[in-house]
Amino acid sequence: MGFLRDLGGWHLLIILVIIVLLFGATRLPAVSKSIGQSVRIFRREVKTMKDEPSAEDDAAAAGKSSSTAADDKK
């Protein structure tokens, strides 16, 4: 991402003009709102995935507990 550090004020202004030309000034607020909502949903899902233990971890834990229970019965 080194190219992002090289962006100056003129580069950002040109990019903004291109975006306005592509989407139009009237649709720009709606586009930015939908992008913001998408980013919020994505972040929430990533956080949920990090907080919840994965199904593989649950299966491994269940396998260990059943094997230790079988060992205890012997």
Residue segments in the chain with a per-residue pLDDT below the cut of 50: none
**What pLDDT does 57 receive?**
62
Cα angle, residue 41 at apex, residues 35 and 27 outer, rounded to 5°: 20
- State pTM to two decimals: 0.47
**What pLDDT does 20 receive?**
86
**What pLDDT does 55 receive?**
59
Rg (CA), the chain: 25
Residue 33 CA, distance from chain mean position = 17
**What pLDDT does 1 receive?**
55
**What pLDDT does 69 receive?**
52
**What pLDDT does 45 receive?**
94
39, 56, 59: which is closest to 47 by C-alpha? 39
**What pLDDT does 28 receive?**
84
From CA 4, how far away is CA 24, in angstroms rounded? 25
CB 19, CB 27: distance < 8 Å: no
